[in-house]
Chain A
Amino acid sequence: MAEALVGAPAVARESRRRRFGGGFGGRSGGRASEGRAALLFISPWIFGFVVFTAGPMLVSLVLSFTDYSLVGDTEGVGTANYRELLSDPRVAQSLSNTFIYAALFVPLGTVVALGLAMLLARVGRASGFFRTAFYLPEMTPAVAAGALFLLLLNGQSGLVNAVLGWFGIDGPNWTTDPAWLKPSLAMVSLWSMGGTIVIYLAALKNVPRQLHEAAMLDGAGPVRRFFHVTLPMISGAVFFTVITNTIAALQMFDQAYTMFYGPQQSETASDESLVYMVYLFQNAFQFFKMGFASAMAWLLFVIILVITVVQLKVGNRLVHYEGEGR
């Protein structure tokens, strides 16, 4: 029996080898042929990766050790740009702002997206309409969303404070009070959570119904079922979105730039709204300190790498992977 079981894969391999042409060139020839075919198929990606990703990354690494400024002579400056990262107070300020924003946005975004996905999962009629409606903001240009929210969140005449006023709440100056700038940015970012909602919705649909039924038979209520059935079963999806949303939050640029650093806003922007990517952009394309901006980019790359590794290490202990017996 054991021998038969051991032999089964070999039979299958032989069968595949024959079907895919291994019978003509022998085993090694077939593998080489398959390898060439695989390389051919992925070559567009390899080309794109080398030319548009790996190459530019290497160039930016080299530039981070120079004083490149788009024009004029370029000279090597050693580690001066990296030392400047430590001495420039605005680097620390922008990093701090970015971390606070990410700390606000990622948990809030996860909770809101999960809540909306659970509502969508329950919708029977017109579910397609609601799913489309929730995903539509994802298609809205970030610049348009930023401009729209500047009006909505205006502390003196905005709709948000007007609505709060109906309930006797005196809303803050969302877009001008330094204490509210980062929470406002996090709120605006919730506008485009459509992608995360779709991922959660798919994960929720994959939770086996019999698990809920079994839990109900054991007397578990909705809250208990959520924490002991639903959440563990979708923990893989949640983990994935937490990682990717963290990366996206640390790279946040478009809405902060539109709301606080556009042509009409840049002169009044508070340092409290200066996120890291905006400061990087300013150095690169307003002050033309490309070398320094490259060093900034690499610093953020390392920070993101470290955070992601930590998240993976911690997350692997918390995430339930079906079939792995964790």
Chain B
Amino acid sequence: MSAPRARFTLVPLALSGALLVSACAGVGGGAGNDDSGGDAGGGGALSGTPSGSLKIMGFGGEDEVGQSRVKAFTSAYPEVKVAQNKGEFDAQQFLTAVSSGNPPDLVYMDRNLIGTYAAKEVVQPLTDCVEGQDIDTGQYRPAAMRSVTYDDVVYGIPEFYIVQTNLIDAKSLKAAGVDPKAIQTQDWDALDRTATQLFEKSGTKIGRVGYDPKLPDSFPLWALINGAELVKEDGSPNLNDPKAVEALAYATSLVEKQGGWTSFKAFRDSFDIFGDSNPLTKGTITAFPMENWYVNVLRDSIPAGLQLTATPITDREGETVSTLGGSTWAIPKGAKNPTAACAWMKTMTSTETWLKAAEARMAKVKEDKSFFTGLFTANTAADEQIREKYLTAAPDAGFDTAINAFYDTLDKATALNPSPAGAEIDAAWKSAVARTLGGQDAKASLDQAQKEATTAFEKARRG
């Protein structure tokens, strides 16, 4: 904080400045001028060959997988001038653009936001787009489509597909004389014993975490493992489901038995996730549930001594489960060139384009003298063809195990149901988990979260 700098600034000023700008710009945003040179304008069937300019927000796409697909689109539609606003999706920037009547033609965001934005009518239904550009929605994984569907209407075209499995530091496990099969989520008592056995501490300093349940962000995973559905099919919150309460209490107890939350988090905060000092290479965490993209990061740590292995995450019946994440394309309300946006979505997620992306990734892998760790998309056919064509045995057996574990999880993953109060529900359960980790009873925390989320849901439902 800069005290003197803030001297004569009164609180409402910062906020009200932004509000004035927004307010002066008008609420709602009109359709604007149609910049589409294609056969259809906003609200039409969105068929035909697109032209004109295409303004995109939230898509970085700097790597070879992104660039090769952008190239696929620009080659197919040279008449379209693509303007990318590089950088991650920024909700504030996006909503301000929409409300000021100057939205992008296309936006790239997390799929879990679609419900909220669909309910607020910030993104358009894609019924015309799917029909006009003849997009085969059957090519996408059902779980991904479910997460971009709100009130039985499709609002997004899914892109990547993020699932989780247990990644394990095999070296530490072997040294401790523990079988990799002990890293499992079916038998909670056994996992508790394994985690405690692997945990190391010297005085108040943690030396190694046996099993990191990855709270708070993996709370939905623990709820899923225990059979709880945090968001019901109608989008209403179900955060204090007894099974969810039990899951949170258990996952929190794992943390408590491994140094307690304050030390545990401080220890975790010190990790270098992306470098050679990552926790699995350094032996500071023996195992944790992790996402598929991380294998590609870990690949570079083999020379540093990483010995990786993996086991599936299962529910308490022993069935493989995973939460599901990933991104989606959507067309904002008032987009000026929806035809081009629609063509972009189709091209970027088609099987043919994904194969080109895999080809680009293989070229990069060859250049780096490394190996391919898979490409996980929401397109079933693309994934199968890429796996068959490009995925060969990794020079490291542990990596093979991990990659195969992720592939085996793809069809078992489920996302939280879309909700008009998705953002508030997310915030509510995250706060609840933080409170529980801070010492509050799990039930009391989730009861409070349920109350907050229900209020938000009812308000969102009323519109």
Contact = CB atoms under 8 A, between A and B. Distances in A.
Closest 4 pairs (CB-CB, A-B): A195-B4, A60-B16, A56-B16, A155-B266
The interface centre, meaning the residue of B13, B96, B439, B448 with most chain A CB atoms within 10 A of its CB, is: B13
B197 interface: no
Nearest to A67: B459
A178 B261 CA distance: 10
Contacts of A203: none
Contact of A74 (B16, B27, B267): B27
B369 interface: no
B395 interface: no
B269 A195 contact: no
A230 interface: no
Interface string B111-152: 000000000111000000000000000000000000000000
Interface stretch (B64-72, B235-243, B422-430): B422-430
Nearest to A145: B1
Interface of B: 1-7, 9-13, 15-20, 22-23, 27-29, 91-92, 95-96, 98-99, 120-122, 203-206, 216-217, 261-263, 265-267, 269-270, 333, 423-424, 427, 430-431, 433-435, 437-439, 448, 456, 463
Given A53-B13, A60-B15, A286 B269 contact: no
A57 B4 contact: no
A156 B2 CA distance: 28
A59 B23 contact: yes
30 contacts: A57-B12, A60-B16, A60-B19, A60-B20, A63-B19, A71-B28, A71-B95, A72-B120, A155-B263, A158-B266, A173-B262, A176-B265, A176-B266, A178-B262, A178-B439, A193-B3, A196-B3, A196-B4, A244-B7, A248-B2, A250-B11, A251-B9, A252-B1, A267-B216, A268-B265, A268-B434, A270-B435, A271-B434, A293-B15, A294-B12
Contact of A297 (B2, B15, B262, B435): B15
B27 A73 contact: yes
Interface stretch (A7-15, A26-34, A277-285): A277-285
A8 to B, nearest CB: 38
A60 B12 contact: yes
A312 interface: no
A254 B20 contact: no
Contact of A175 (B98, B122, B266, B435): B266
A142 interface: yes
A16 to B, nearest CB: 32
A248 B16 contact: no
A132 to B, nearest CB: 16
A73 B28 contact: yes
A238 B134 CA distance: 71
A293 B387 CA distance: 49
Contact of A59 (B19, B28, B427, B433): B19
A290 B15 CA distance: 9
A241 interface: yes
A71 B27 contact: yes
B333 to A, nearest CB: 8
A241 B22 CA distance: 34
Contacts of A301: 10-12
A247 interface: yes
B12 A271 contact: no
A65 interface: no
Given A192-B2, A301-B10, A68 B270 contact: no
B120 A282 contact: no
Nearest to A300: B11
A250 B3 CA distance: 10
B1 A142 contact: yes
Contacts of B448: 89
Interface in A285-323: 285-288, 290, 293-294, 297-298, 300-301, 304
A270 B10 contact: no
Interface in A179-205: 189, 192-193, 195-196, 199
Nearest to B98: A71
A71 B121 contact: yes
Given A142-B1, A195-B5, A267-B216, A178 B438 contact: yes
A304 to B, nearest CB: 7
B11 A248 contact: no
A182 to B, nearest CB: 13
B121 A72 contact: yes
B9 A70 contact: no
A271 B438 contact: yes
A63 B233 CA distance: 34
A239 to B, nearest CB: 13
Given A154-B266, A155-B262, A173-B262, A71 B3 contact: no
A247 B96 CA distance: 29
A54 B196 CA distance: 60
Given A155-B263, A189-B1, A248-B1, A269 B12 contact: no
A150 B271 CA distance: 12
Contacts of A269: 434
B403 to A, nearest CB: 27
Given A60-B19, A155-B262, A268 B11 contact: no
A253 B13 CA distance: 14
A68 B27 contact: yes
Given A173-B262, A176-B262, A271-B435, A70 B99 contact: yes
A254 B9 CA distance: 15
B12 A247 contact: no
A116 interface: no
Contacts of B96: 70
Contacts of B13: 52-53, 56-57
Given A109-B3, A142-B1, A199-B4, A267 B430 contact: yes
Given A173-B266, A199-B4, A253-B1, 9 more contacts: A70-B98, A71-B333, A72-B28, A109-B3, A142-B1, A270-B434, A287-B423, A288-B120, A294-B15
Contacts of A285: 91-92
Nearest to A174: B266
Contacts of A157: 266-267, 270
The interface centre, meaning the residue of A60, A63, A245, A304 with most chain B CB atoms within 10 A of its CB, is: A60
B122 A71 contact: yes
B23 A63 contact: yes
A286 B90 CA distance: 10
A178 B260 CA distance: 12
Nearest to B90: A285
B445 to A, nearest CB: 10
A80 to B, nearest CB: 11
B203 A170 contact: yes
A70 B207 CA distance: 48
A189 B5 CA distance: 13
A156 B206 contact: yes
A89 B455 CA distance: 13
B281 to A, nearest CB: 16
Nearest to A69: B120
B19 A56 contact: yes
Given A70-B96, A156-B270, A195 B120 contact: no
